Amino acid sequence: MKSSTIRRTPGAGIRPEFHIPFGTTFESAKRDVTTIVALVIVAGVAYHVLTPKERERLGSRARACMLRVLDAARRRSPASAPFRDALRARTRRPLMTPALVVVNVAVFVLMLCAPGALDDPDTLIGWGANFAPRTTNGEWWRLVTMMFVHSGPLHLLATLAGLVPLCLVLERLVGSVAFGAVFLAAGILAGVVSLSTSAVDVSVGASGAIFGVSGLLTASVLWGAIANPHVRIPVTTVNRVVAPAVAFVLYNLANDSIGIAGEVAGFATGFIGGLVLARGVIQYKPPVRRSAVATVSALVLALGWAVPLRGTGDVRGDIERVVAFEARTGGAYDAAVDRFRRGQVTAESLARLIDNTILPELQVARAHLDGVTRVPKEQQPLVAAAAEYFALRDKAWRMRAAALHRGSMPALRDADKVQRTSLEALEKIRSVKAPRSGLKGS
């Protein structure tokens, strides 16, 4: 689910004072923990100020309320018996839904026990999150693993709330094969759409897949209504599915970890697939062959969408190196100027430092940035600002070297003017921020 601006760039080896915002809203994980802690503190304070009688009365009411909830959960309405019997006859035990729950919970527990913070993009990417510069450069398996990675406890709970009540009913209705096929295809297609809409975001969670099975359920209900079945879905079952689904949708609207476009794509995949798979669902489970054809069709569509995204680049590490380069070369030249003022080196030595060290390093950094292909549109302002800086900085250093060779103070002053302009261009790089987006995590 989704997914506050991350303050770190994955894989960047240099950490100058300047940073490029990561662009994805993973601060939601921090908000999750903060909200839980705040609620616990408020509840503790409220309980502390109560009198002993009020505490006893509150405890009695809480126990009575819990008992009523447990009793309601255990009690089964006689009106729903025909529907339960029909589901049991169709699919005796759901297999996919419990397996998905186990895998999601197991991965989250392992993430909690492993080094790294949940709100760290490096941690999420390390566990299989969807990130265009990695996914589109040979790590396409991330389109599957992203569905089992979550950025926080509320993210996981929202996923389970959207998954369990809905899928326990749907899987028994259409069968494990059709259910699993739609879940996988919708999740993958949603991940591809997420890549195409924002290449610089990290996407985690299964919201696209859950929206997909919601689309499958919608199509199944439509086919059922057309068939006018004798056994109808009871109101109690609808309530058990709808209430958690509303909580799931609201969470995703507030913390968009996959993106609205990805979730719409997931729902459309499930709905269209359901129109094919769920025809005749009242009489029989969708045949395996029909499920296979629908899944392959969705995956072919995802493949066609993904091909133009291959080789997506990421320039943020290169931009950080530009800033680090300026700090390093500027510091080295300033140190050499100090030695020159103390009479330890000559003006010719300063010129050779520029010609033999600074300018070659500048050219290498420039060529490295120019070599990045398929720059995402969100990062193109960074590339434009860097190109302006490189051009001006190269001109300033060349003018300074020539002035030192000639011993011309007017030429040095002209070089200083160009240098100031180049540093203004560098400030543009510092001011350019990658656009924020909803947490791409479903």
Q: Can you tell me the mean pLDDT for 152-180?
A: 86
Are 186 and 288 members of one domain?
Answer: yes
pTM above 0.75, yes or no: no
> Into how many domains does the chain fold?
2
Q: Kindly state whether residues 177 and 203 are assigned to the same domain.
A: yes
Residue 97 belongs to some domain of the structure: yes
Least-confidence region, from 204-218, 231-245, 272-286: 231-245
Of 53-57, 154-158, 351-355, least confident by mean pLDDT is: 53-57
The answer to whether residue 24 sits within a structural domain is no
Are 289 and 323 contained in the same domain? Answer: no
Q: Using 50, 70 and 90 to split pLDDT, how confident is the model at 183?
A: very high
| 113 and 132 together in one domain | yes
In this predicted model, what pLDDT tens digit does every residue of 315-326 receive, in sequence order?
777 788 888 888
Identity at 209, one-letter amino acid code: A
Listed in sequence order, the residues at least 6 apart from 346 whose beta carbon sits closer than 8 Å to its beta carbon are: 340
Domain-terminating residue out of 275, 309, 343: 309
Helices marked H in 228-255 — which ranges?
A: 235-254
> Residue 323: CA atoms inside 13 Å, Cβ hemisphere, count?
25
Q: Are 286 and 376 in a shared domain?
A: no
Domain boundary among 309, 340, 357: 309
pLDDT of residue 188: 93
Name every residue whose Cβ is closer than 8 Å to that of residue 146 and which is 6 or more positions away in sequence.
128, 129, 130, 187, 191, 203, 204, 205, 441
d(CA 259, CA 268) in angstroms, rounded, equals 14
Q: Write 120-124 long-range contacts (CB < 8 A, 24+).
A: 120/6, 120/8, 120/26, 121/6, 121/8, 121/9, 121/10, 121/22, 121/24, 121/26, 121/202, 122/8, 122/10, 122/11, 124/26, 124/149, 124/151, 124/202, 124/204
Give residue-wise pLDDT tens across range 327-375. 888 888 999 989 988 888 899 999 999 999 999 999 988 888 888 778 8
Spatial contact of 213 and 152, defined as CB atoms under 8 Å apart: no
pLDDT per residue as tens digits for the range 127-142: 999 988 889 888 999 9
Q: How would DSSP label each residue in 143-190?
A: HHHGGG--SSHHHHHHHHHHHHHHHHHHHHHH-HHHHHHHHHHHHHHH
Q: Cβ distance 286 to 278 under 8 Å?
A: yes
Task: Give me the domain span that covers residue 116.
Answer: 30-309
Q: Give the DSSP H/E element, type plus range, for residue 12.
A: none
Q: pLDDT band for position 230 (50/70/90)?
A: low
Q: 288, 309, 330 — which closes off a domain?
A: 309
Could you tell me if residue 16 is inside a domain?
no
Bridge partners for 204 per DSSP: 441
The rounded mean pLDDT for the chain is 77
Residue type at 358 in one-letter notation: I
Residue 438 forms part of a structural domain: no
Question: Are residues 301 and 327 part of one domain?
Answer: no
Nearest to 10 by CA among 19, 374, 441, 427: 19
Domain co-membership, 409 together with 358: yes
What is the arrangement of strands in the sheet containing 130-131, beginning at the earlier edge strand?
Answer: 130-131, 202-204, 440-441
Q: What is the pLDDT of residue 141?
A: 94
Q: What would you report as the CA-atom Rg of the chain, rounded to the nearest whole angstrom? A: 29
Mark whether 151 and 281 lie in a shared domain.
Answer: yes
Nearest-angstrom CA–CA distance, 90 and 80: 16
Helix axis angle, 176-197 relative to 96-113, nearest 10°?
A: 50
Look at residue 201 and tell me if it is in a domain. yes
**20 in a domain, yes or no?**
no
Residue given tokens 């103070």 in the structure block: 409
Instruction: Report the CATH number that the domain containing residue 41 is assigned in CATH.
Output: 1.20.1540.10
**Local structure of 11: helix, strand or coil:** coil
Mean pLDDT throughout 267-285?
82
Confidence check: pLDDT of 25 > 50: no
Does residue 331 share a domain with residue 304? no
The verdict on 139 and 112 lying in the same domain is yes
Q: Both 194 and 274 in a single domain?
A: yes
- pLDDT value, residue 45: 66
Strands 202-204 and 130-131: antiparallel
Indicate if 225 and 326 belong to the same structural domain.
Answer: no
pLDDT score for 430? 75
* Closest to 371 (Cα-Cα) out of 328, 326, 317, 422: 317
Is the model's pLDDT at 280 over the cut of 80?
no
